[in-house]
Every structure is written in C-alpha cells, then in structure tokens.
Structure 1
C-alpha cells in the first residue's frame, strides 16, 4: 500500500480498550476521508490508513509499543519455559508410572515436535483472521492441555497432552515476532527484537531450575500445574491488553465496516492490489513453499541446519545435565538445574551485544544509502560461531568429578552467548535476503530446528552411557565446529549465491522495484501501511503474506 507521512506525537489519542476491541475503529475522520474509487463493485473505494490514523500500529505511542512488546515476549517465554520445566517432572513420572528415563523424556520430545507442526497450521489462519484471534484461541487451548497434563493418570496421556500443548503453544513463538514487526520500522526494530528474542532462549534455561526445585518439593503434578497457571494468567492479560496489529486484517475489517455503514462498496487496498487468498490457497503456500525454499536454496538449507544443530544442542542439555550433575556428582533434582544459570548469563550477554551491534548496522545502512546488504546481518554470527564450540568443548572436558563444578558451568556461558548471536544474526539475514518469501523461509527453519530439538534429547542417555560424559558432550561441539565457516562463506559469497538462487533473486528484484517506486512517489519520512516498505521487509517475522 502507499505510505503516508506520520509522526507519533501527532497521532490522535484513542482509548486503548477501543484498540483491543475494535479492528475497524471507524472515526469521523476515517469515514470522511477521500478514498480513491467510486464506491461501486467495479470501482470500489480503496481503504488505506489515513494520516495520523490511531489504528495504524506503526503510529502507536512508544510506551504502548513497548508494553505490547513485553507482553508478547513474556507470553513467548512462558511457552519456552513449559518446554523445559517438564524436566522437573521426569523423576516423579519415572517413580509413579514405573517407566524408563527414555520414555519419560518423550514429554519434552513431543512438546517440541508440536513446535514443528503448529506453525504450518496457525500461519494461514493468522493471515485470514489476524494475530489477536489466534493468540487468544491457541493460548487458551495451550492452558487447557497444560492443565490436563497435571491430572494425567498414565504416561501415554501425559505425552499426548504435551504434544497438543506444544502444537497450540507454537503460535506465539511465530506470531509474537510479527506483532513487533507490525509496530516498529526496520531501523527502530533492533532493540525491540533483541529484547523479545531473549524470551525463547531464557524460557528453556529457567524451566529446569524452577521445575527441578518445585518437582523435588511438591511433586510433578505441581510442576505441570504451575505451567498451566502461568500461561492461563498471561492468556487473560493478553486478551485484555494486546490489540490486533496485522495490517491486512485491520484494513479488511475497516472496509467491511465502512461498507456496512454507508451502503457503498469499500475494499482494502491491500486485497485489491495483491488479491485476497482463500484459506485453501493460504494452506497450499504454507505447506509447500517452505520445503521448496529449504531444498532448493543453499542459503536456507545450510543456515537452517546450523540453527537446528544449535537448537538441538540446547535441548540435548536438558537430558545431559541430569546425567552430568545428578548421576555423576550426586546433586539433587533442584540443584542440578542451577548450571543452566550459566547458559542464561551467556544469553543475556548476547542480547546486550545486540544493542551496540544494531548501531553498527544502522551506520552500515547509512553508508549504503539507507539499505545495508543482507550480509551485514551476519557479523554477529561470525563472532558467535567461535564461542559456540569453545563453550561446548569447555563444558565437555571439565564436567568430570575431578574438576570443580564451577569450571564446567562457566563453560556454558560462551555457549549461551554464541547461541543468541548466531540465532539472531541468521534470522535477520534470512529476513533481509528473502523479504517477500521470508515467512516461508523462517517456517522451514522453524520446522527443521524443532525436529532437531525434539530428537536430540532422545539419544542423550544411550550416547552418554556408551561414550562417557566427556566424548558424548563433545559430539555437539564438533558439529558446531563444522558449522563455523558458514557465516563467513555467506558474508563473502552471499551476493553471488543469492543472484543464482531463484527465490532470493526474485525477492531482491521485487524489493528494488518497490523501493524505487516508493522513492519516486513519496519523498521524505514515511510509514508503511501494508505491502510495501517495512511491511514487505519484515514479512519474515509475520505470518506468510507472500503472493
């Protein structure tokens, strides 16, 4: 859609509750606006955001943007927390249901497996009905299935309910990033995304600590109950405070409301320009395009594998730490979760690193005339790629009883630091390199890393039994070492590779055309209202809106 000049300071104030409850928000100014068109079926009025439109997410006051950012970040943290807090339930499940460690660990595996399947279901629905509807619906069912696990009578019921909870819980993992992208322009989004990105990493590290102590003190049912209470409270808060931010849905609802009020024909300008997909078409794209990108684009394949290895290693630690610190050192369930504090400290340092690095990227963008090459996003990954194997090898060869425990815990700090840098850097690179196809790219990457995260814990027990704690812990370190060259190769040869890749080349061509058109039509500071500029540039962290 065309872009309209806007400043936050001049945006008309509207009660926040109206934003939460009304998608259309038809004010007198909106109704009187001189839309293009004649108001007929052949030539409908083309609905776009008006100047200083209070319903445009880009125009929200800064405090409101940050309030929503924090809420969706905590909602995401709660889901990630639920994936790992289950480790505190495992000893109790083994005892009460008389099952093996491997079988009890399936509760982690199937929850994370839900992360792989869920986005393929929820993304098309988000495109049709918006982010708010999806958040409330899926988070409600996440809470319900989470509460069901607390009352499980056997391990089979527990595993099935954990899988369903993971499927529905996967919605905020992808949806929340889109909410942030809806509100912030690309050059303003760096800090918000850095803060938000800490959530899916901090959640898994907090889970074993809290779950371990609670499971030891009150039993596994309280661990499961705590997760349900946590998500239930957030569901209520989110339903009362988080408004719809997805621009295509907002304009579509406004057009429908204006048509109803006036008797004239109004259509969203986005729907007229891009065409409105049916649910079937949206699912066809969501289920086929990610696989085409994954297997036909070497950039997507190699970097997705890299992220999957790192993600799988994190979930491998949920099974490895009890072996290293409980079985090998004799620690209790609660104390054995404390080494995850080392990983968490590293992650927080990684998030902090993102603040000055965002300034570096802004400077690079200015030098490039306003849009830095996608390869500039890879600089943090180049740094983090070294810290990953260093931290993993450090942990692997200092985790024996002959070495003080603090040494191995310190080794997890560079791992957490490198993991955040690699993840954020690669995701931003894929966003910038694939723009209009980036939602499908990140869907493919999400499925692959979720599969790795689901399967890595399964082979932890036999691997540690057969190889011992040193060599078993070295396996992911060697995998991370093999991946070190990836960001360097794409930093140097990325432009040449992208020019030879079908989807990357198409994305670059289309973005160049849109940016040139925007420059010619609207000089000066602008905001995006949909399909051009920031909207297209940030399609990756939104649900698929590709044509």
Structure 2
C-alpha cells in the first residue's frame, strides 16, 4: 500500500506531498528528511537550552496527517483486534457443559474462567496504558497480543479447572491492552470532529464480541469439546496478530522522541521533545504511581465520573449476567439445545447494529453544534443525547425480557427485550465515554481507566451469582433486578444535561480541565483542531505548576 499525506496538507507551500509505503511508515519512526533537518526549532541545542522538537506543518509522519484510507484501515484493524479479545471473553460459555461433565463442576465454578478473564480487563489497562506512553502503542500491542495468543493456546491443553482459570486470567490481562491501545490509536489519528464515527466502530467491538461468542461457542462446544472453542479462539487471535502487526507507531510523543534522538545523533547537539522538556526526566515507577492513583482519586472525588462509571458498569455487568441467564431461560425452561440457545444472543447483536446506525446521525448532529459554537467546540453536555435515549430504552428492554421470559410466552419477546437492551447499552457506553472525555479533556486517560476498572469488576462478578439469584428469586424477579437498577439510574443523563456545566465548575479536576481547555482555545481558535499531543502538553504544564507551587510552599515553610 502506498499512501500520501492528508489532502488538507497537499496544497500547503511548506511541504510537498510525499508518498510513504506501509513498510516505511511501520519501520521509520523518526522520519528525518532534509526538510526536517533544516526546519528552525526553538532553542540553541545545549543541555541548558535544547532544541525543542515538534511536528512540522503537515508533517508526513504525523498520524493526524495520514490519508483517510490509511486511518480507516488502521481503525478497522484495531477494532477487530478488540473484537477478537472480547469474543474470547464469552466464547467459553459454549464449553461450560462440557467442562462440568469432564471435571464435575457446579455451574458457578464453570463460570470462573469467564469471570477471571474479564477480571484481567480490570487490572491490565492500569499498567498497559502508562507503558504505552513510554514504549509506544506498537511495542505494547506486539508484546501483549503475542502473550495473549500463547496463553489462549495453552488453554487447549489445560487438565484442571485451576489451570484453565490461571491461563484465562493471564490471557485476559494481556488481551486487555487492546481496550486502551486501539482506542488510543484512534485518538492519535482522528481529530475531535472526525473521532465520533471512528470511536463508534471501535467501541462496538467490546460489545459485539461477547454477544457473538456464545453463538459460535454453543455450536462448536456441543458436538465436540470445550477445547475446540479455544482452538478457534487461538486461530482467530493468530490471524489478528498478523493483521495488527502492520499497525505503525501512532503515539505522537514517542514518535517525536525517536526524531529527537535521531537528530541528536546526526548533529551532536541536544534535541528533546517539548513534552519531555516540560515534564523533565520521568521514571516508570513515577508514571505507574500516577496511573494507579489518579483513576481512584477521580472515581471518588468527581461525582460525574463515579455516577457515569457506575451506570456503564451496571449495564456491562448485565451483559455478562445474560451468559448465565440465557441458558436458564432458553435451555432449562424451553428445552432448547445449547447451540439454538446461543442464537438468542443475536437479539443484542441486532440492537447494537441499530445503535451504530444511530451514532452516524448523532455524529453529524454533534458536528453541527460544534460548528455553531464560538470556538468550534461544543460543550461536553452536547454528548449526552445518546445517554438520554439509552436511559429510556434500557429499562423498557430489561423489563420486557424479565416478564416475557416464561415458557408460556413467545420466545421472540424476551429476545426483542434483550435487543432493546443491546441498543441502549451501546448508546450509553458511547455517550458516556464521549461525555467524560470532553468533560475531563487532559485527564481523559485516567477517567477511562477508572471506568474500565469498575466496569470490568462488575462484568467479572455478575455471572457468578446469576444462577443463585435465579434459583432463589425466580426468572422474572431475578431478571428485574438490573431493570430496577437501570430505572434508578435513568435520571442522571437528564440531570447532567441540564446542570452538568455547573456541577463540573464545582469539581476540582473537571474545573481544572475546563480551564486548561479554555486556555488552549484562546491560542488555537478552533476547538475541534486541538490535538491529543497539545492536551498532553497542557497536562504536563499543570503538573509543572503544581510541582513549582509545592516547592515554593515548602521553601516558605522552611
């Protein structure tokens, strides 16, 4: 594949269009040309005043300037790598009966491999996200996806439930890197105005995978064995590993670090990136300390983060609860086979597909609002319309599923109910994610880590008590519990749509993020053109101001 820089740059006089092959983009992270070498940079090239490396206008190696074809190719590959991991999270459901027979397990114990795999989703991103800031997206993808594939292959030969649980947990831990890595790749390449469509493609993968896993696993595990499900998962992971291997490095700070080192080696002078100059030397323990602490601080100090993260986590847990509920409703009560029972999950798949179609219109609506805004950037609360639709749709779908899932009712009714829930689940997730990113801007990565941890913990625990809950409460009332939880949460999107700006102004991190955004809008003029690199640099400035303030206070105190 040969590609050229974005068409918006081709007419610029300061950069002639250059074609880069896929291999060149993949291999050459620095891309030091004569044009780069001759470009005037701030600084004098000494230790005290180093040259500050930054992107050239319409820089061909800047991922923001990739052509639309290349951007969307990489976005789809990233989405499929996420799909592969999320498919693996639920594919094991088709082998539950086979495992119960082989090892003499209860239903709850047989669900442990699924729960521990999803538990890895809660722990992994906290470490993989900061590591990608040091070593880049590309290195983390290759390391984690290879490891994920190897441990999933190891599940084929597991001889005990303990071995399977351990192997699945490590596979989930490594596979979870794609949940943050692929989303980061999209943020690296697409502007805020473009990101809505790309994000909807990526964000649907973590939901489509889990609902399709039981369908395929049900038919594969029924006539054969649960081990054949892992053969399929391993083959899928291997194919996606080769496909994902063509994804180049896209994280701007890492790319600029490579360029700075290349220029320093070539000239003998001192080159550093503007971000590194602001941050100073950073160690892995220091980065991990922030990565581990800040998500919890945001989760418990910022009410918007806590409420919206809990809202998403309840729906995510409900989706995984259905893995234990559907066999009870459709196999035990209606007498369906395991394979046919898995087909009931197609209801959610159809609902999610409709949500994707809606989000295409939603992105157009948001762009219109942004264009009409003073700085070309819509307020964060403009992202909440999908959440408001989801807040109404999901209780309807869940109550419909709960009170029509008896064997005397037509089977299509609970399937439709689950489809409405699937529609609302995707809308809520996309709406909340976009809202939290726009509301917290420079702290978006930490906010996403907080939501991922809470969501995955509930996704891991909900399946474990599903069978007990259904046995004690019955199918109707047990199915109604998530419906009542959705009903309790229903007012929140409407409250934040009306009072969100006022609430954010009273929250420490949200107010700080808004202040930083306002400063950037004054200098850039166009809000939708603010890049993630500029946001990272603004966060570094705030951290530098904090360190300076602390040192000043300490000096005065002494």
In structure 2, what is the Cα distance between the partners aligned to 1:268 and 1:456? 46
TM-score after normalising by structure 1: 0.94
Aligned residue for 1:141?
147
SS in 2 for 1:7: helix
Aligned residue for 1:329?
334
- Asked whether 1:123 is paired with 2:132, we answer no
CA deviation string 1:427-484 (max 9, x = no partner): 1110011011111111111100101000000010001111111111111111111110
In structure 2, what is the Cα distance between the partners aligned to 1:517 and 1:18? 34
CA deviation string 1:346-376 (max 9, x = no partner): 0010111111111111111122221111111
Contact 2:149 2:234 in 1 (8 A): yes
Aligned residue for 2:116?
110
Aligned residue for 2:192?
186
CA deviation string 1:65-91 (max 9, x = no partner): 000000000000011100001101111
In structure 2, what is the Cα distance between the partners aligned to 1:246 and 1:26? 17
Aligned in 2, Cα 1:102/1:373: closer, same or farther, shift over 3 Å?
same
SS in 1 for 2:75: helix
SS in 1 for 2:52: strand
Of 395, 419, 422, the match for 1:413? 419
Matches within 5 A, 1:229-248: 229-239=235-245, 241-248=246-253
Of 515, 521, 525, the match for 1:515? 521
Aligned residue for 2:220?
214
Deviation at 1:276, TM superposition (A): 4.6
Aligned residue for 2:431?
425
Aligned residue for 2:301?
296
Q: Which has the higher contact order (CA 8 A, sep 6+)?
A: 1
Matches within 5 A, 1:277-292: 277-292=282-297
Contact 1:391 1:414 in 2 (8 A): yes
In structure 1, what is the Cα distance between the partners aligned to 2:444 and 2:55? 25
Aligned in 2, Cα 1:279/1:251: closer, same or farther, shift over 3 Å?
same
Contact 1:79 1:169 in 2 (8 A): yes
Aligned in 2, Cα 1:192/1:8: closer, same or farther, shift over 3 Å?
farther
Aligned residue for 1:39?
45
Of 355, 359, 377, the match for 1:354? 359
TM-score after normalising by structure 2: 0.92
Contact 2:94 2:214 in 1 (8 A): yes
In structure 2, what is the Cα distance between the partners aligned to 1:528 and 1:385? 31
Contact 1:138 1:168 in 2 (8 A): yes
In structure 1, what is the Cα distance between the partners aligned to 2:512 and 2:527? 27
In structure 2, what is the Cα distance between the partners aligned to 1:376 and 1:52? 30
Deviation at 1:6, TM superposition (A): 8.3
Aligned in 2, Cα 1:530/1:461: closer, same or farther, shift over 3 Å?
same
Contact 1:56 1:529 in 2 (8 A): no
Contact 2:91 2:229 in 1 (8 A): yes
CA deviation string 1:168-198 (max 9, x = no partner): 0100011101100110110111111111111
In structure 1, what is the Cα distance between the partners aligned to 2:371 and 2:205? 30
Deviates more, 1:20-29 or 1:299-308: 20-29
Aligned residue for 1:387?
393
Matches within 5 A, 1:194-205: 194-205=200-211
Deviation at 1:517, TM superposition (A): 2.0
* Number of corresponding residues: 531
Aligned in 2, Cα 1:457/1:117: closer, same or farther, shift over 3 Å?
same
Deviation at 1:529, TM superposition (A): 7.4
Aligned residue for 1:543?
none
In structure 1, what is the Cα distance between the partners aligned to 2:498 and 2:490? 14
Deviation at 1:36, TM superposition (A): 2.0
SS in 1 for 2:338: coil
RMSD: 1.9
- Asked whether 1:77 is paired with 2:83, we answer yes
Contact 1:248 1:530 in 2 (8 A): yes
Contact 1:111 1:163 in 2 (8 A): yes
